[in-house]
Every structure is written in structure tokens, then in C-alpha cells.
Structure 1
């Protein structure tokens, strides 16, 4: 029986990225459902995070695991850990993978509102391995995303990534398309890594029931 992963997105375009990541897994092992809530993409105040956490707990009632794909409100995942099923923060899985081997990790983000949450989740992961971090706001990228100019958005991200020397990480799910423009040194991206992490968590939870 396939595992079911419920995804909460704040951008409709991200649903396609996570669906593709799930379909790349062997044997049709994972079924995704998607809830799109662009209204939740705002400053991560305590009230906002608690509202998101309540929604995550609700989504967990009908799934093997839940994946919150928005970096800005990622802190809500920790508030929803009393849900019926595992609740994962997508960029936390990325941070763990990026810092596992130590060394220098170059973290790119596009939305100014995600700087604080992104820094916190990567610093926590780096503290466990001794990895070094440099965070970079990709100047001028986010207005392109908001305008629906995906090609220009990804091109701008790739331009900045090419100038970096460490392990490059694209910290927001919406940035993943830029990886195709960097075949010489593919960066780590959110969708594939977090879907795998969520599948493992869902399987572990199912086996324990």
C-alpha cells in the first residue's frame, strides 16, 4: 500500500516540483496530496505559526506524514509535532543533508522574509557537524518570482551560484529549477531531499503502529 504524504505549499508552482520528486521514486511508493495556501506566506509571527501548526495537525489526520514546504513559516512544523502523524519541515531535511559532511556550505535564498528561519534551521544543523555557513540573499530574484517570470528567476539564482566555491544549497523550494542551469556542479535542492526524508519518516511511523 503506497504511503500518503500531505504537502502544504504557499506557492502553487511548488506542488509540481514535489509531485515530480515523488514520481521519481521507484515503484510508485509515495502518493502526494497538495494544499495550496498563498495567504500563509507572511511574516512568521507566533499567531501565524500557530495557525499553520493547527492546519498541519488537521492534515496529519488523513496521511502517513505531512510536509511543510514553505521556508518562511517553517517554524510551524515544530509546533505541530503532537499531530497524529510525523510533520516535517522541508528545508530542515535539506539543511541536514547539506551539512552532514561538514565543510563550507553556501546557502542561497530569494525571499527576504525567509532569512531568519533559513539561518536558524541551517545553523542548528551545522552545529551538529561543524559545517561552516555562508548565507546569500539572491538580490533581485524574488520580484521576478512574484511577477511570474520563472526563467529569469532561475537564471538570476544560477548566476549567483556560479560565483560561489563551497557546496551550494538552494534553500527555498521555488529555487529548485535553477539546478538545471548548473549541470557542472548541481546544487542541493529542497524537493527531492525532503520528499525522501518524508517517505522514510512515514514508513517508520507506519511500521511502529
Structure 2
């Protein structure tokens, strides 16, 4: 199965490749497009303008032309997926796949979010998917994790993510979800038996099972 990815952070390529390999997918069947310029343009404009939406949609169309599925790994570009309803292959939002997976588990959902700007969009997305269920959603801001991420100290960063996940479980969470794809490797630091959800595995599972 050929899967293409649209990233805006280069480091997420390795995260999704690792998840794909763990699900039995071959690295040779994965294609990565890294476009930090699209995210930066949206942030600079302060909105996902019509022109930027068109640029992103064109990029997704090009990826879909030679793929069985396309995964958008950046939440900032996620709204472009709604414009791709006529795509010949599934276009999967990684953040939406994660929210759906968490809602399926149900109960008390704790979402770890490092970037302050992502808190409200993340809250809305998870609440949307939990609507109509008995699940509750709590977005937990972990600014110390964001500071470590920006400093480049990834070992300390991932250890802090895992510690925050353990704290959320201890506080009564039924399931913990990592809001950012780059958090996924923190599972190796987390307590055994309580596996947080990450968007890489969630998105790939959606892409694999969709016709």
C-alpha cells in the first residue's frame, strides 16, 4: 500500500515511518512531502486564506495521484482535507484520526498539548468527536515540554511527555492522547501497561482500513 504524507516539520517523517513499520508497512511504499512554508504562511497571515487553501489542496492532489492514501500530519493544514472530498483516495487528518480513536475508547480523555496556540483548536476537535458519547475531554497544557522541544533536548522532552502522561493516568484519565505527532516516541518512557494514543498510529490505521 502506497501512502504519502504532507508534513510541515521534518522530524515527523521519522515518527510516521517508525509507526508504519510497526504496522507492517514497507518504507519503500512511503512518500514524504515536507512543506514548512505552508504552515509558516498560515501563521504569518493569521488565517488559512483562500490562496493558501488552494496551494495546500494542489499539493494534496499531487500526492494523491500516485498514492493509495494521503495523511496530513500537521493540524494547521488539517482544514484543507474538507476541500478534498472528491479525492480518488482517502485523505486523512492525523489529528482527527487521533480524536476519533480517543473517543472510541471513551471515558475521561486527557490530551497533552505543548504549544499554547494549539490548545483551543485541539479542544474543539476532540470535543467534536466525543460529542454524542459519554466521553469527557480535558486538554492539559504542558509548557515545560514545549520549552524542551524548542531547545532541541529531545530526550528530556520525551521524558517530560511520558511523565505528564503518567500523571494524567494517575489523576484518573481513561486514555491519554498526544496532541503533537513528535510526542509519539515518548511511549518508550511511559509506565508499562498504559499506552497513550498518538496520531501517527491512529492516522495510519485509518488509512489502512479505508477502501
Which residue number in structure 2 is paired with residue 54 of structure 1? 58
| Kept after mapping to 1: 8 A contact 2:3/2:31 | yes
Which residue number in structure 2 is paired with residue 182 of structure 1? 190
Q: When the two structures are aligned, how many residues end up with a matched partner?
A: 200
Over aligned residues, Cα RMSD in angstroms? 2.1
Q: Which runs of 5+ in 2 are unaligned?
A: none
Following superposition, the deviation at residue 169 of structure 1 comes to 0.8
- Alignment counterpart, residue 102 of structure 1, candidates 87, 92, 106: 106
Following superposition, the deviation at residue 89 of structure 1 comes to 0.1
Following superposition, the deviation at residue 154 of structure 1 comes to 1.1
CA distance in 2, matches of 1:111, 1:93: 19
3-state SS in 1 of match to 2:2: strand
CA distance in 2, matches of 1:75, 1:115: 16
Following superposition, the deviation at residue 189 of structure 1 comes to 1.0
Which residue number in structure 2 is paired with residue 116 of structure 1? 120
1:161 aligns with 2:159: no
Higher fraction of helix: 2
CA distance in 2, matches of 1:93, 1:81: 16
Following superposition, the deviation at residue 5 of structure 1 comes to 0.7
Q: Which runs of 5+ in 1 are unaligned?
A: 205-209
CA distance in 2, matches of 1:13, 1:107: 21
Following superposition, the deviation at residue 19 of structure 1 comes to 0.9
Q: 1:27 to 1:70 in 2, by over 3 A?
A: closer
Could you list the structure 1 runs, at least 4 aligned residues long, displaced by more than 6 angstroms after superposition.
Answer: none
- Alignment counterpart, residue 88 of structure 1, candidates 84, 92, 106: 92
Which residue number in structure 1 is paired with residue 201 of structure 2? 192
CA distance in 1, matches of 2:135, 2:28: 32
CA distance in 1, matches of 2:117, 2:130: 21
Q: Equivalences for 1:3-42 in 2 at 5 Å? A: 3-26=1-24, 28=26, 31-42=29-40
